[in-house]
Structure 1
Amino acid sequence: MPAPAADPSGAELLPFDPRARERRPHDPLEALLRAGARGALALITAVEGPSYRPVGAMMAFLPDGRRSGSLSSGCIEADLQLHAQKVMAQEAPALLRYGAGSPFFDLKLPCGGGLEILLLPCPPASLLGQVARLRAARRGFSLAIGLRDGAVAIGPDRPTGKDGHGLFHVRLGPEPRFLIFGKGPEVAVFAGLVQAALLPGLVLSHDDETLAQATAIGMPVRPIDTRGLPGDVEVDRDTAAVLFYHEHHYETAILRRLLAGSAFYIGAQGSRRARDARLEALRAAGMGEPALGRLRGPIGVVPSARDARLLAISVLAEILALHAQRPA
């Protein structure tokens, strides 16, 4: 593992430390809320052929010319901004077509596909505030948007797409949240990756040095002991729990609670031999085979990764791929 970089504050920076780069607003709905519910929201409502972004992707245009998000590789955003200014001025939606089947023959999509994009005047501040509260509570929901009138309402959790009744639904499910257990460089590097990806996480460890490293990169931490996962740490169906332990006696108490809960991913570092010993310890503690079948190990998409950075990248890729494949 390379030596940590220096930081002007005197603290050490671990690899992938998010303080090494500027953090920019990346969420269009949050950007509109911060702008006082002024601006325009753009959404991809249909795709023909290949596309840089999926159906449901969003972008915000703010009155001062700033943008949040993207809908292409940069080939249509300037034109979208011109249309967004009209939408803001007229307070009326506009449905646009780019690429295949578009009247804008001078604007080509490099991928060769077609995009249908709905431009809306900014949703009300009350609705944006409710969206923020639902997200903070990690509730799955959707936005129901009228394709003709641009009316926006919050609806139940459902897949993104048109419903055949003039509405377009955008699913806004919770992001994956990470519970990171263990000791050593694997914990520090994995926590740094989660931070760099702007995803929520919590490091739980019995080791003061590991907790200090996580704190240095801005990751929330929680000291634990052999009693395992604290009872007030919430675990929901969008939680991923990863154990990076070399001292495996810490694992049983943690895994007993995790395997009884709803986390979509539970994995533990170690070889096949370590996995087999872990399973035997859990059986001796009273865990049944259905629960044990949820435990992953060895973990990661790269077999037998022994470098802390490669292992962290490998495990994060595995978790994000599984989360993306889950049904709504």
Structure 2
Amino acid sequence: MEAYDILEAVERYVQPTVLATVIHVEGHAYRKQGAMMLLMADGSSVGSISPGCLEADLSGYVPLVEESQKPQMVEYDMRPADDFGWGETIGCGGLIRILLEPVTGELLVHLLAAKAALNRGEAVRLVRTFIEGYSDIRYSLCDALEGSSADCVSSSGSYVYTFRPKPRVVVFGANDDAIPLAGLALSSGFRVVIADWRDAYCTAERFPGAETIAAFPGTLLEKLKLTAEDYVVVMSHQFDKDAEFVRGAVKTSLRYLGIMGSRVRSEKLLDGVERPDWAHYPVGLRIGSEGPVENAVSIVAELIGIKRGVHANGGRSSSVASGLDVQGSRTW
């Protein structure tokens, strides 16, 4: 999650920084409203708002913003048909307004408070109120509205951004094929927890950047404290262990439950329990994937689709939608 990474950088870096935020987009753009990046005085950065075309130009504003200690608005208009500079380079054709803010004073305090809230698993809203254009801004931080899905809302006099905790992906099964899945999920902005009953498999060396928990399924479920915001992938390849974990997990409403293996095997795992709409099996998008890396791509693509609310199939996969025959021949 890029916003979380930016907050981590704000907390970590002591050098002067400038926060760049896309607050308005018209037409097509590489990144949508709400995209952010942190620009450091030494020329380094965290995050992105373009494929790399605008970053160099924006870095030129850093000394000006730092010297004035006032926010500044930068506009890139790539709509003209004869624009073979910005527009053709970025592949856009829209208008983008980017707010540049020195990360000091009130803004710094609120960003650090937002990071602390995310660490507690709480979503918060940062409200910017524009007093005189964009050069004078008042900041406030408040709890996120329940049921609100929009991360950013703008008007003529304010801009509101919601910082949300990283969504958690729990992977049950620490076999070798979970390694590329964990790495790809981490790089896609998820918080990853590897859960397995085998201590030797749950190590930081095997899963750098992920959390690990070693216990048998019943104890794991108690320790994990699954919530309605969690994504769970079951892939231990041990039928009895998978069955115990799945049957315990479905007692809690989840955001997503993906089960690796054929449809027939998954149906047997769920035998005797209610099958929720958020259970997906076989796990992952149907892209004809083979092997651990391609399977990881298909799984993380499905997770992203669920997170963004654009997943097409939704819920349990049918033999037609999943590309399986009626016997569920795909076994992964």
Alignment TM-score, normalising by the size of structure 2 = 0.77
- 8 Å CA contact 2:78–2:94 kept in 1: the answer is yes
Within 2, Cα distance between the matches of 1:106 and 1:300?
40
**Further displaced range: 138-147 or 45-54:** 138-147
Among 194, 197, 200, the residue aligned to 2:191: 200
Q: Superposition pairs for residues 79-158 of structure 1, below 5 Å?
A: 79-100=57-78, 108-110=86-88, 111-124=92-105, 125-147=108-130, 148=133, 149-157=136-144, 158=148
Residue aligned with 1:216, SS? coil
Residue aligned with 1:185, SS? coil
Alignment TM-score, normalising by the size of structure 1 = 0.78
Q: Deviations over 1:198-257 (max 9, x none)?
A: 642121112345335x64332332222253534122323432111103222113332233
- 8 Å CA contact 1:100–1:113 kept in 2: the answer is yes
Among 252, 271, 274, the residue aligned to 1:288: 274
**Percent identity between the two aligned chains:** 23
Larger RCO: Structure 1 or Structure 2 (Cα < 8 Å, ≥ 6 residues apart)? 1
Residue aligned with 2:231, SS? strand
Among 238, 241, 252, the residue aligned to 2:232: 241
- 8 Å CA contact 1:49–1:114 kept in 2: the answer is yes
Where has structure 1 moved over 6 Å in runs of 4 or more?
none
Residue aligned with 1:270, SS? coil
Within 2, Cα distance between the matches of 1:45 and 1:27?
19
Within 2, Cα distance between the matches of 1:245 and 1:315?
15
Question: 1:178 offset after TM fit, Å?
Answer: 1.4
Residue aligned with 1:92, SS? coil
Question: 1:139 offset after TM fit, Å?
Answer: 1.6
Q: Which runs of 5+ in 2 are unaligned?
A: 311-332
- 8 Å CA contact 2:180–2:292 kept in 1: the answer is yes
Within 2, Cα distance between the matches of 1:222 and 1:74?
38
Q: Structure 1 residue 69 and structure 2 residue 52: aligned? A: no
- Distance of aligned partners of 1:160 and 1:296 in 2 relative to their CA distance in 1, 3 Å threshold: closer
- 8 Å CA contact 2:36–2:47 kept in 1: the answer is yes
Which residue pairs with 2:305 in the alignment? 321
Q: Which runs of 5+ in 1 are unaligned?
A: 1-24
Which residue pairs with 1:11 in the alignment? none
RMSD: 2.9
State the aligned residue count. Answer: 293
- 8 Å CA contact 1:175–1:238 kept in 2: the answer is no
Within 2, Cα distance between the matches of 1:160 and 1:227?
36
